[in-house]
A and B are shown apart, each in its own frame.
Chain A
């Protein structure tokens, strides 16, 4: 087992950027560009960052996958609903009409898998840095006006990516040293 590297923000940024790029390029034929980040200690008294590109108007499909082991955390991947639908069609080779017929369950499963692959890529970076951990099963959150607030002692990093006018937000909550 290699000596564990310190998990700091640049490393987290590197892992998540690589993971988002790999997944969106390989599975969706898109090249997302990193556009910004915010960082908070959950108990620093500041409000958590907004969950997605907008709140209260556009519905979101949010995939969640956790990682458990020497390091624990959760990643939420936010896609607005139109982008989630477009991504599902591309991934499964479906038309919009076919997707309409198939229903939301198919979108949930597709975004769950996109999140699973993204968090998998991120987690593999952590494992190779000396923090062995395992993935949890994905879950999906849908809605247009909600916020996710972590418990105290977690560090929160939010990274925003953009691809052809569509935003993807990776919201990372990490607890180190449990």
Chain B
């Protein structure tokens, strides 16, 4: 949802500063230069928040606020006063009319954003764009951990990704980092002193810049109570020590809603290639299943007629893999897509041991599979269709 914020101030300078402050957020800024204009825009556009100055020509902010609160259609619109008028008695008088907050000029843009973020669910524009991101796009991962060795494990374990891992050791450093560079994901150790991770979690959740940032709790595997507490508080995910970087990578992708399909599906030389990685954990197989139908349909829609299922990187076969492969073949058959398998000696041997897989025919390479699909496509397909 794109929020509308109405800034009512006779100073064009203030209106420009407000526009500049909210530039990085998914919201529309409406402008009025006095109370009369402000009321007209409020009635026409029903803004989600009004920022209101006091001293203005034509109609001042106090009069506009009074009229706004007297109008049944408009009285629900939250108002934050943004004014140089800051004398105690005047502030109290205005507060009594009904406002959500009061910010005295001069003001810092961050403070304005923070106050507005308490009234409306401000989302950074970058977060909106993240939805279309893929695993090949860079992202900033903040690790808050007082043990440098753990931070190093994250750096080493994620170095094959385009993600930047930033390590800090205290809450204060984390807050400073987030204010300068809001991370795409924050991972914080629950073993920080004085329950620091929980305090930091609350601080980040009240900051508009990090309000929606996925925050993972990092806990020792056996610390069940801590993990339970993190879940109750609302951490996005729990990851455990000893660290399984594969699991963390999958969770980051999920939290960022990244398109990971390119890991498993690609189009090469007029063929749809589906590839299962060496470590095809249940999480990986679930991901493959999520994309399967859509990717096969897309390929058919694009005019492709051939598919290669490449499992040569797999070290061993298990039921999860077999289920996914059967599902893939079924989907290909439904869409009359010819397919061939590429495997390694270990996999081929293991396939002989299962009733469902013993008739599968494998090729040694994608090129070999492609050329055979071209020559005896129906045969190859038929051989595998024997399952």
Interface residues of A (CB under 8 A from B): 1, 22-23, 26-27, 91-93, 106, 109-110, 112-113, 116-117, 119-121, 123-124, 126-128, 132, 134-138
> B-side binding surface: helix, strand, loop or mixed?
loop
Contact between A26 and B107, CB atoms less than 8 A apart? yes
Known: A127-B87, A137-B57. A112 touches B106 (CB 8 A): no
Known: A1-B89, A26-B108. A109 touches B55 (CB 8 A): no
Q: Which residues of A contact B88 (CB under 8 A)?
A: 127-128
Q: Does B145 contact A (CB under 8 A)?
A: no
Q: Does B12 contact A (CB under 8 A)?
A: yes
Contact between B12 and A106, CB atoms less than 8 A apart? yes
In the complex, residue of chain B having the shortest beta-carbon distance to the beta carbon of A112: B11
> How distant is the Cα of A1 from the Cα of B93 in the complex, in angstroms?
13
Q: How many residues of B contact A (CB 8 A)?
A: 25
The segment from B13-21, B154-162, B238-246, B295-303 found at the interface with A is B13-21
Q: Does B10 contact A (CB under 8 A)?
A: yes
Contact between A123 and B87, CB atoms less than 8 A apart? yes
Q: Which residues of B contact A134 (CB under 8 A)?
A: 55, 85, 90
Contact between B17 and A120, CB atoms less than 8 A apart? no
Q: Does B379 contact A (CB under 8 A)?
A: no
Identify which of B55, B86, B107 contacts A137 (C-beta below 8 A): B55
> How distant is the Cα of A88 from the Cα of B87 in the complex, in angstroms?
27
Q: Does B97 contact A (CB under 8 A)?
A: no
Chain A min CB distance to B289 (Å): 48
Contact between B87 and A121, CB atoms less than 8 A apart? no
Contact between B20 and A121, CB atoms less than 8 A apart? no
Chain B, 79-97, contact with A by CB distance < 8 Å: what is the 0/1 string? 0000111111110000000
Known: A92-B13, A137-B57. A117 touches B105 (CB 8 A): yes
In the complex, residue of chain B having the shortest beta-carbon distance to the beta carbon of A132: B89
Identify which of B11, B55, B104 contacts A136 (C-beta below 8 A): B55
Within B59-88, the residues touching A (CB, 8 Å) are 83-88
> How distant is the Cα of A134 from the Cα of B66 in the complex, in angstroms?
18
Identify which of A106, A121, A132 contacts B84 (C-beta below 8 A): A121
Within B9-37, the residues touching A (CB, 8 Å) are 10-14, 16-17, 20
> How distant is the Cα of A1 from the Cα of B106 in the complex, in angstroms?
26
> How distant is the Cα of A135 from the Cα of B14 in the complex, in angstroms?
17
